[in-house]
Amino acid sequence: MRKPIVQAMTVLVPRDRVMAFVQDRQLMAQAVGSKKMLGTIQHLELCDAPDGRGTEMYLSMRGLGKYSIKEVLRRLKALLEAGEIPTGRRYA
Amino acid sequence: MKAVVWHGKQDVRVERVKDPEILNPRDAIVRVTATAICGSDMHLYNGYMPTMKPGDILGHEFMGIVEEVGPEVRNLSKGDRVVVPFTIACGNCEPCTREQWSLCDNSNPNAGMAERLYGYSCSGLFGYTHLFGGYAGGQSEYVRVPFADIGPLVVPDEIDDERALYLTDIFPTGYMAAENCDIKQGDVIAVWGCGPVGQFAIRSALLIGAADVIAIDRIPERLEMAAAAGARVVNFDDVNVLEALNEMTGGRGPDACIDCVGMEAHGVAPDAVLDKAKQAMRLEMDRAHVLRLAIQAIGKGGTLSVPGVYGGFIDKMPVGAMFEKGIQMRGGQTHMHRYLRPLMEKVRRGDIDPSFIITHRGTLDDAPQYYDFMANHKADMVKSFLRPNAMMQGEVSRYERSREEMTAASR
Q: How many residues does chain B have?
A: 411
Fold observed for domain A7-81: Alpha-Beta Plaits (3.30.70)
Q: For chain A, percent helix, then strand, then coil, each to nearest 5? A: 45, 20, 35
Per 3-state DSSP, what percentage of chain B is helix, strand, and coil (rounded to 5)? 35, 20, 45
Contact B94/A12, CB-based, under 8 Å? yes
Q: Which residues contact B13 (CB under 8 A, 6 or more apart)?
A: B4, B5, B7, B368
Closest Cα in chain A, distance from residue B340 (Å): 21
What's the pLDDT at B313? 87
B163/chain A closest Cα distance in angstroms: 28
Residues ≥6 apart with Cβ < 8 Å to B162: B34, B354, B355, B358, B385
B400–chain A Cβ distance below 8 A for any pair = no
Q: CA angle, corner B134, sides to B130 and B137, nearest 5?
A: 125
Determine contact: B24 vs chain A, CB below 8 A: yes
User: Closest to A82 (Cβ–Cβ): which among B90, B135, B144?
Assistant: B90
What residue in A sits closest to B70 (Cα-Cα)?
Answer: A84
Q: H or E segment at B30?
A: strand B28-36
Alpha-helical segments (H) within B249-304: 270-280, 289-297
Contacts of A77 in chain B (CB under 8 A): 93, 105-106
- Taking one residue from A and the other from B, the number of pairs with CB-CB distance under 8 angstroms is 78
CB contact under 8 Å between B19 and A12, yes or no, is no
How confident is the model at residue B402, as a pLDDT?
54
- Phi and psi at residue B64, to the nearest 5°: 175, -160
Query: Distance between CA atoms of A6 and A29, rounded to whole angstroms?
Result: 19
What chain A residue is nearest to B129 in terms of C-alpha separation? Answer: A88
CATH for B170-331 is 3.40.50.720
Judge whether B324 is closer than 8 Å to chain A, CB to CB.
Answer: no
Listing DSSP states for B213-240 in one string gives EEEEES-HHHHHHHHHHT-EEEETTTS-
B93/A77 CB distance under 8 A:
yes
**In the prediction, which pLDDT does B199 show?**
98
**Whole-angstrom distance, CA of residue B333 vs CA of residue B306:** 9
Q: Does B2 touch chain A (CB under 8 A)?
A: no
Between chains, do B109 and A83 touch, taking CB under 8 Å as contact?
Answer: no
Whether A87 and B108 lie within 8 Å, measured CB to CB: no
pLDDT at position B404: 56
Q: What does the pLDDT read at residue B405?
A: 58
Nearest CA in chain A to B57: A90
Q: Do B94 and A91 touch (CB under 8 A)?
A: no
**Does A90 sit within 8 Å of B144, measured CB to CB?**
yes
Residue B60 at interface with chain A, using a CB cutoff of 8 Å: no
Q: Calculate the average pLDDT of chain A.
A: 95
Burial class of residue B199 (count of CB atoms within 10 Å of its CB; 0-12, 13-18, 19+): buried
Coil, helix or strand for B193?
Answer: coil
What would you report as the CA-atom Rg of chain B, rounded to the nearest whole angstrom? Answer: 21
**pLDDT at residue B268 in the model:** 79
Segments making up each domain of chain B, as ranges: 2-169+334-410, 170-331
Domain boundaries, chain A: 7-81
Task: For A55, name the nearest residue in chain B, comparing CA atoms only.
Answer: B94
B335: distance to nearest CA of chain A, Å?
A: 18
Assess contact for B161 and B138: CB atoms under 8 A.
no
Q: Give CA–CA dist B369/B329, Å, rounded.
A: 36
CATH code, B2-169+334-410: 3.90.180.10
Instruction: pLDDT tens for chain B, 411 residues: list them.
Output: 999 999 999 999 999 999 999 999 999 999 999 999 999 999 999 998 989 999 999 999 999 999 999 999 999 999 999 999 999 999 999 999 999 999 999 999 999 999 999 999 999 999 999 999 999 999 999 999 999 999 999 999 999 999 999 999 999 999 999 999 999 999 999 999 999 999 999 999 999 999 999 999 999 999 999 999 999 999 999 999 999 999 999 999 999 999 999 888 888 788 888 888 888 887 888 888 999 999 999 999 999 999 999 988 888 899 999 999 999 999 999 999 999 999 999 999 999 999 999 999 999 999 999 999 999 999 999 999 999 975 555 544 555 555 455 556 555
Q: Dump pLDDT digits (tens) for A27-70.
A: 999 999 999 999 999 999 999 999 999 999 999 999 999 999 99
Strands laid side by side in the B11-16 sheet: B11-16, B2-8, B56-57
Euclidean distance between CA atoms B245 and B226, whole angstroms = 16
C-alpha span between A11 and A31 (Å, rounded): 14
- Report the amino acid identity of residue A31: A
Of B18, B72, B124, nearest to A83 by CB-CB distance is B72
pTM: 0.93
Residues of chain A in contact with residue B136, where contact means CB-CB under 8 angstroms, are 88, 90
Bridge-based pairing state of the strands B2-8 and B11-16: antiparallel
Question: Cβ of A90 and B18 within 8 Å?
Answer: yes
How far apart CA B2 and CA B15 sit, in angstroms, is: 5
Residue B384 at interface with chain A, using a CB cutoff of 8 Å: no
Tell whether B87 lies on the interface with A, counting CB pairs under 8 A: no
In single-letter form, the type of residue at position B23 comes to L
For residue B176, the Cα-to-chain-centroid distance in whole angstroms is 11
Position B272 scores a pLDDT of 87
What residues contact residue B364 under an 8 Å CB cut-off, 6+ apart?
Answer: B2, B3, B4, B14, B35, B139, B140, B141, B386, B387, B388, B389
